[in-house]
Structure 1
């Protein structure tokens, strides 16, 4: 494996990797999944003698045991039994809790992610579960700052939402890998900046706007003016073919042809690229590859779906039989 990511610690170089989808506070289900994958609990947390876990992000928010999930994942990463990339929920939490640089001392504090009702609602369960542990929460925020936006091995890649080769190359030119610094974090608060584009694309994917006046109301009651798109569908002709989210498009819009402006904003991932693993997209049903070299591991765990892992051993084409999951018990 690459020198940056070679398995150091428990048993030398890892023989395989278990990529795990969005946990969203489902700590008990995560423990059941780890046991199913052959991980055992030791003095420093869960571990496997020959494999390393890779979390695709979104450990926090929404679920009943966010604090416990973070404790578990943090212990594994600290011990070297796991790696993790940031999801949009971790990055949003970091921005929500980070004041903008240069605010006047006498002025009200402005944060990189504004404290609007919608943004506050997204983080509400996390902040509530850490209400009695403020120092612990601040320590996790500091830890988020040290986690990468993407990981790459010679054989595969991991990113929370979308592997955009051009933006990742720009980020690497600045930082060398998926990590970032305080200046980058502050820059994400500037609309249109490179940092804002990189953060949005890698952790949230490609969203396209609906025509003016059209909205989508999601199953959890959130009204949206944008929709998530596939990043591996270069041959898509209509918006319906490009759609990648659980909520349907407004009547009549899905059958429209993709406009030249929107086509320029599409991102594609070639069939000849190494396998990439993502989360983020709230899939349902039986886990399987979404393309021969793309695995999405978010199967709506916190909505009583499945917490899913893929057991990767170096193959160039993903094998449907290598998905493993635990159901979330209502």
Structure 2
């Protein structure tokens, strides 16, 4: 059975406490459980105070068969930030616009370049999604179409550096859009002539969506899955409605992170769970203990608070 663990973001001590609470023991092969396996939903790095230790913990568990893991958008950004072109020149140069979050990880590994290079190679061995028994795991959004495209487009095994070069160079390509859909989820982008004000007095130009629901008839707030602000309760004009990725009630249970849900909801439907407890906000690391049940149970959520 599986223990699905939300975004850790460099909080190794909190992860250790959570694993011990879940009944894992530290051995020479890292943390392990006699009858269970941890599953990490991505975003191990950046932000927290113990990124290097977090990477060692998770990698050791995965390499010794005690855990599984998928890539998050933070890992992909770290991979891209260290790519070089065919002439050996870094593709991303200071001031690292759009890659600021990676700087903390880079600074923590300053003086450990060989170790970090090894981690980057290992990260490319991780999948973008998992299908396990009757459950699915992805970092941000499940799309049958995106999953099928990537199954057919990416060779088995370690993802090549060239794939991430193509993602960075051609963000509008089908490859890039499908990878970012799974790891960042869809965002609603405001038309240039539309302005709405959130509860903090700011006019956002985009917001994260409840991708699993049909968007027709939704208000801006109902369509949003933001944790940092609330949007107005009036209907999204039908002329600008985005396409949805409805997730049916008959589909397998899906677990994902990414959305920093410090106050929930976590179990959104009997087959949909956002396991991100917002470790950098509420200092809460969350896990779900899946025991083979067909419908998610609130009592199986386990929270560790700093």
TM-score of the aligned structures, taking structure 1 as reference length? 0.84
SS of corresponding position for 1:70: helix
Match for 2:274 among 296, 299, 302?
296
SS of corresponding position for 1:299: coil
Provide Cα deviations, 1:156-191, integer angstroms capped at 9, x if missing partner: 000000001101111112236696333322221212
SS of corresponding position for 1:91: helix
1:193 is aligned to 2:204: no
CA RMSD of aligned residues (A): 2.5
Cα offset, 1:260, TM superposition: 4.3
Looking at structure 1, the residues matched to 203 and 55 of structure 2 have their Cα atoms a distance apart, in angstroms, of: 29
Provide Cα deviations, 1:217-253, integer angstroms capped at 9, x if missing partner: 999xx99632100111115522211100113356x5x
1:208 is matched with 188
Query: Does the CA contact (< 8 Å) of 1:171 and 1:177 recur in 2?
Result: no
TM-score of the aligned structures, taking structure 2 as reference length? 0.90
Query: Does the CA contact (< 8 Å) of 1:96 and 1:115 recur in 2?
Result: no
SS of corresponding position for 1:158: strand
Deviates more, 1:174-183 or 1:35-44: 174-183
Cα offset, 1:198, TM superposition: 1.5
Looking at structure 2, the residues matched to 22 and 130 of structure 1 have their Cα atoms a distance apart, in angstroms, of: 20
Looking at structure 1, the residues matched to 249 and 148 of structure 2 have their Cα atoms a distance apart, in angstroms, of: 19
Match for 2:64 among 43, 62, 79?
79
1:237-248 equivalence runs, <5 A:
237-248=218-229
Cα offset, 1:323, TM superposition: 0.3
Q: How many corresponding residue pairs? A: 302
SS of corresponding position for 2:286: strand
Q: Which runs of 5+ in 2 are unaligned?
A: none
SS of corresponding position for 2:47: coil
Cα offset, 1:304, TM superposition: 3.4
Provide Cα deviations, 1:60-102, integer angstroms capped at 9, x if missing partner: 0000111111110010001010010001000111011112x44
2:210 is matched with 230
Looking at structure 1, the residues matched to 199 and 163 of structure 2 have their Cα atoms a distance apart, in angstroms, of: 31
Q: Which runs of 5+ in 1 are unaligned?
A: 1-15
